[in-house]
Amino acid sequence: MSVEAHRCNAKDCNGHVVFDNADFDFNNFDTSDKGFYMFDDPCCNKCGKKYYVVPHYIVIDVKDYDCGEFEELESACITEVDRNL
């Protein structure tokens, strides 16, 4: 069980968006009221603004699978790719 807190981005609000990520099911996402996949839809504890906790991906180079060691690749701009071709 792990409780996470994030700072609310509403103007002049110093509240936090707090949720427990223990119940997140990576094999069975919920669907938000806007139709995209999400884990949870917590609200700010001060102003009540609603947020969404959504799945996200990264690109990794696996160094040592058994030790869970990996390096996340830096993202690049697509114009950089075009210049290299």
Residues lying near Zn ion in the complex (CB under 5 A): 8, 10, 13, 15, 44, 46-47, 49
Nearest distance from C-beta of residue 45 to Zn ion, angstroms: 7
Nearest to 33 by CA among 8, 51, 9, 46: 51
Enter the DSSP assignment of 67: G
Nearer to Zn ion, 29 or 52 (CB): 52
Nearest distance from C-beta of residue 32 to Zn ion, angstroms: 19
Count other Cβ atoms within 10 Å, centred on residue 73: 10
Q: In Å, how far from its chain's centre is CA 48?
A: 20
Nearer to Zn ion, 18 or 47 (CB): 47
